[in-house]
Every structure is written in C-alpha cells, then in structure tokens.
Copies of this chain bind each other. A is one copy, B any other.
C-alpha cells in the first residue's frame, strides 16, 4: 500500500513523550530515509522543538489535517488518540504503525515483531500494530524455542520500569525517592500507591477476571504473534522502582525435552537476542546495564526440575527501544524494503 520512494514523509504522533523522543532518535540513528519529519503532539506541546538530523523541527498540533502527504505515521500517544486519528491518517494515504493497544487484537491488523513474524505485515490494511513492551520481550526469547521444541505453557512475572508509564512516572519515582530520603512524605499522583522502594502488582486497569489489562495483553498478544492459540500463557505484571528497562522471570514448559545448553545455543543464533549467562562470574542481564541497547538479553537459563520438560530464564530489554520505539522503526524498515 506504501508507494516505493527513495525518502518518506514520516509523522511521529506523541513526539514529545518518552517513546516519541526515542522514535525520532532511532529514525536518525538508523538513517531511516526521511524526507520530512512531522512531529505531532497535543496543543500543550505545540511549538516545542525536537532535534532531528542536525535541525530543530517545530512540533505541530495533532489534528485531522496533520497527515496530508505523510507516508508513514508512527503513533505513540495512547489508545484514545490512536482510535481517533489513526483512521484519518490511513484515509490520507499514510501507513500507520501504532504503538498503543487500540488495534492490536483486531484480526485485520497485523501485530508485528519483525524478527518473529515479519511475514504477516504484507496483509495490512493501513494499520500495523506494535505489541506491548512486555510481550515483545517474551516472544523474542520464546519464538526460537517454540520453533525448536514447541512451547506448551509459559508463566511470566514481570519487573517493569516506570518509563513505561511516561515522563510523569519517571519524575514521580525520582521525586518520591528524594522526599523519602529527606524524611518527607512521598507524594503520589501517577500511581495509586508509592512506587519508590516498593513493588506494585498493578499495571494498567483491572479487568473482571481479576487480571490487569497489562497481564491480559501479554496473554493474548503472545498467542497472536506466535500464531498459536494452544500455548498456555499466564502472567503477573509488576511495576518496580527502576527507571528504564523491563526484566521478566519466565517459566516455560515445552512439548519436547530441551536442556539449558540447547536453549543457549538456539537463542545465541537468534536475531536480536544476546545470551548473557555466566552466573559463576555474576553475569546475568540487569536493567541498569541495558538502557539504550537494542537487543533482548537472556540469562539465568536453567532446567526446571519440577516438570519433565521445563526451562526457567530471566530476560531484560530496554522497554523504550525494543519494547516500543525500536520495534516500531524496525516495522517501518521492513515496510519499505
């Protein structure tokens, strides 16, 4: 649907948010062929400037006319804005790559992690969805294992950084931490409870089945991306007092037996994954080490002796990059290939 060009007009919706800024940085860093960058945001940020390829580009207010001549629109401004403006962008002739949850489970919308299922992109009807951050980490690590020995079930517990919530949450963690270390009360605005020195088993809203929406995203998006509804997925999503990068504890049951060394070999050969696993040297992936990195880091790979065919692993990735902006730009790259 996208006409082949040498350079593209690229809009970034939510250009002043944490993911928006990362999107613009990554477009520049990876030399994406941009003829014009169109940074869009709410009225509040109109007139701000964002740096791109050595120029300062003025942020425009997002409205129904924003997408004239835009080839690719990268959305990262929340589900509500995507629901309202993505169809307008498509009508204007743009292909939308949407980072929100708005269209992910729509059967007409491909949900893509390029290393895992780039093939489904061809069938898009104007919108391609970028999966939830936690899901991207899981499917990156699990797809190569699934291809080798078929995964029956996974049990995931996440350790998610506050940058996934946005700038206000980063400020809240820093502000609460400073307050508490000065024996003052922690002010709580973004999260329902104090996040500094605490772990909140609550990300996104609660649903009727007792799970959070974040947990159900992991369940449903994983099955859609892996194209396999028979995989059992259950999740507990936890916000932790970490600024950047998500960590996940993943327990896997496979159809065929696989040993830890085979998992290491398979993941070492997989694109976008780095096996970082030498516990005797205290080497395992850590949130503080992976900020700004592109890959999903996997460590603590070991056999789970509580079942015949089980594996435990620990993975860490930059939630703003592979968990959001980088994956979206990689989708755009696949699109123009």
Contact = CB atoms under 8 A, between A and B. Distances in A.
Interface centre among A155, A192, A304 (most CB of B within 10 A): A155
A246 to B, nearest CB: 10
Contact of A238 (B159, B192, B304): B159
Contact of A241 (B178, B197, B206, B233): B197
B282 A192 contact: yes
A335 interface: no
Given A198-B288, A199-B240, A234 B306 contact: yes
Contacts of A303: 209-210
Quickly give the copy total for this chain.
2
Contact of A234 (B202, B219, B300, B312): B312
Interface in A141-163: 153-155, 157, 159
A303 B210 CA distance: 8
A192 to B, nearest CB: 4
A310 interface: yes
Given A234-B251, A288-B197, A306 B206 contact: no
Given A249-B157, A251-B155, A307-B153, A201 B234 contact: no
A287 B198 contact: yes
Contacts of A54: none
Contacts of A310: 234
A333 B247 CA distance: 42
Interface string A199-213: 111100010011110
Interface in A30-85: none
Interface of A: 153-155, 157, 159, 174, 177-178, 181, 192-194, 197-202, 206, 209-212, 219, 232-234, 236, 238, 240-243, 247, 249, 251, 260, 279-280, 282, 284, 286-288, 299-307, 310, 312, 314
Given A193-B288, A202-B279, 14 more contacts: A177-B177, A193-B282, A197-B241, A197-B242, A197-B287, A198-B242, A198-B286, A199-B240, A202-B282, A219-B306, A234-B306, A236-B300, A241-B241, A251-B251
